[in-house]
Amino acid sequence: MSKKLKDELSYIEKIGNCKYRIKEGFVPNMKVPGTFYVNDSLKDILFEELEHNLQGQGAGGFLPAVSVDLKK
């Protein structure tokens, strides 16, 4: 069963103006939190790409900062 956007977003929290934390468990075997930075101009694009990836529509240039495919 694939994850839903709501599930993915539950792992991501905004902790600063442009700073976000990815909680442990976002991807299998992820045992430490991650941090990424994105400005307001790119934030919507990044989260749209996350949603498209979950729908099986591929990934864009920003998505590797948020999502990792460990099946490769």
Gyration radius of the chain over CA positions: 12
The pLDDT mean for the chain works out to 77
> How much is the pLDDT for 17?
93
Query: What's the confidence (pLDDT) of residue 1?
Result: 42
For the chain, give the percent of residues with pLDDT over 90. 21
- The secondary structure of residue 2, as a DSSP letter, is P
Residue 51: the pLDDT is 81
C-alpha angle 26/27/31, rounded to 5°?
A: 75
pLDDT per residue as tens digits for the range 10-35: 999 999 999 999 999 887 888 999 89
